[in-house]
Amino acid sequence: MANNAVAATGYEESLKKASRMALVRTLLPVMGLIVIFILFNALTGGRMITNLPLTMSSMYSLMIACTGVFFIMTMGGLDFSQGSILGMAGIVICSVSQHAPMGIAILAGIATGAAIGAVNGYFYVFRKIKSFIVTICTMFLFRGFIKYLTSDSPVTGSASLALSYDTIPIKLGIMIVVVAIAYFFFRFTKFGTYLKAIGAGEKAAKFAGIRTDKMKFLIYVLAGAITGLAAFVSVAHTGSVTSSGGNQLETQILIALVLGGMPISGGAKVRFLNVVVGAALYTILQSGLQMLGITTQTMQMIQGVIFLVFVFIFADRQSLQVIK
């Protein structure tokens, strides 16, 4: 009896500890966002608030692209090709917009992103190559295409691209619609449950009747399509695509999601709040450091330290495994 009582007490303590850790995982990114915003606003003499519309303008495409990668990471994968997808889709949007209505150009950009996502999904799912290896290869492949297509001069869009579509209502509206739709399907349908199940244990998900291969392939296609839409928001702001178009986007997405509390291994502990908080936190951190006149090298060091701290906190060591 005494042993049973001790075991029960130990079990209750472990449950309480797990509950406290879950609360920390949820609240820390939100508290970090609030603290960093207040800190940078004080250090910059209130410029963080006055320049908030400008700060937000760099968050729209990041948050949209984060949404697709969030789905990939939920099922335990990675995607390092997002920057190249955005650059290629941006080139297609700019080129098509010169000869066709903007709606056609946007659809062409989305289709370009979906096609590259399908390439990633094919080699990852059907050729059984690890996701990070496949996406690193496609990152370099399409980065080469981007540099080739922009070697002589930037690829510019139609005159109406920046004049008519670089507005806060349009870009904010697109971001809200994408995030709202993604949240609905992730939170209130089997879609989110299936993704978490694959991330927690793919073999168990298969035995539960989930068509994991089909699901993984479609998620990579979906993520590419979402980034294709993010490319429109990006080129609407710049009006063109240069050889550096989309450069380092994949790193920004990964840092943003981890800052938002995203577990690297995906699974059941994933929350959609990771997307919103992470993208906002990364954007404010980046903008605040720039306002303070911090050099690029120092900014990278600061971001690296913060990234390591959040990985240390949010890595699920009990289920952590080699990335799929």
Radius of gyration over alpha carbons of the chain, in Å? Answer: 21
Q: Are 215 and 74 in contact (CB under 8 A)?
A: no
- Identify the CA nearest to 227 among candidates 111, 141, 148: 111
C-alpha torsion angle, residues 122, 128, 130, 132 (rounded to 10): -10
CA atoms within 13 A on the CB side of 283: 21
CA torsion through residues 320, 262, 196, 202, sign: negative
| pLDDT tens digits in sequence order for the chain, 324 residues long | 555 554 555 556 655 555 666 666 677 788 888 888 898 889 888 888 888 888 888 899 999 999 999 999 999 999 999 999 999 999 999 999 999 999 999 999 999 999 999 999 999 999 999 999 999 999 999 999 999 999 888 999 998 898 899 999 999 999 999 999 999 999 999 999 999 999 988 989 998 899 999 999 999 999 999 999 999 999 998 899 999 999 989 999 998 998 888 887 888 889 899 999 999 999 998 888 888 888 888 888 887 787 777 777 666 555 445 456
Q: Are 57 and 85 in contact (CB under 8 A)?
A: no
Cα separation values, 148 from 115, 117, 230, 242, Å: 19, 21, 22, 10
**Global confidence as pTM:** 0.89
- Identify the CA nearest to 86 among candidates 136, 131, 143: 143
Look up residue 166 and give its two tokens: 């670089």
Output 159-162 pairs: Cβ under 8 A, ≥24 positions apart: 160/97, 160/102, 161/93, 161/94, 161/97, 161/102, 161/235, 161/236, 161/239, 162/236, 162/237, 162/238, 162/239
- β-pairing, 155-156 vs 240-241, is antiparallel
